[in-house]
Amino acid sequence: MLTVGTKAPDFTLNDQNGTEIRLSDFLGKKIVLYFYPKDNTPGCTRQACAFAGAYAGFKEKNTVVIGVSKDSVASHVKFAQKYELPFILLSDPELQAIQAYDVWQEKKLYGKVSMGVVRSTYIIDENGMIEKVMPKVKPDTNAAEILDYLAGQD
């Protein structure tokens, strides 16, 4: 995982609308950059819906929410429409951002070892610096924990 106080790696990926999005486009705003394994899986759906439910709170705090997985743009379109997700979903099939943020790691499931995205969240400040690192987050509580953290900064 990257560490607090380091510059957030910039990247350019396509969002669910096929639009190129650069992380550096959001300088001047706080960013919640969350990495998740796969669209339409139970944990990832709960996490995305929790972010959607808390979205007004993030907007109040001038904070951009960006979800990243290796799913395709087409998969993101369906996922965003199905659950009415109001935030950006980025498609990273080449693992550009996923590897830059060190969330592509060895995982064990039922004794089987494989490589995959470890559910993790970074909070990036207005100057593009990593402010908080949240490794191995819980899908149901991640959004609320971040809002609590942001509320403590006022």
Alpha-carbon span 90 to 36, nearest angstrom = 11
Q: How many CB atoms lie under 10 A from the CB of residue 115?
A: 10
Contacts of 41 (CB under 8 A, 6+ apart): none
Q: Considering the candidates 44, 89, 103, 123, report the single residue annotated as catalytic.
A: 44
49 is catalytic: no
Active site residues: 44
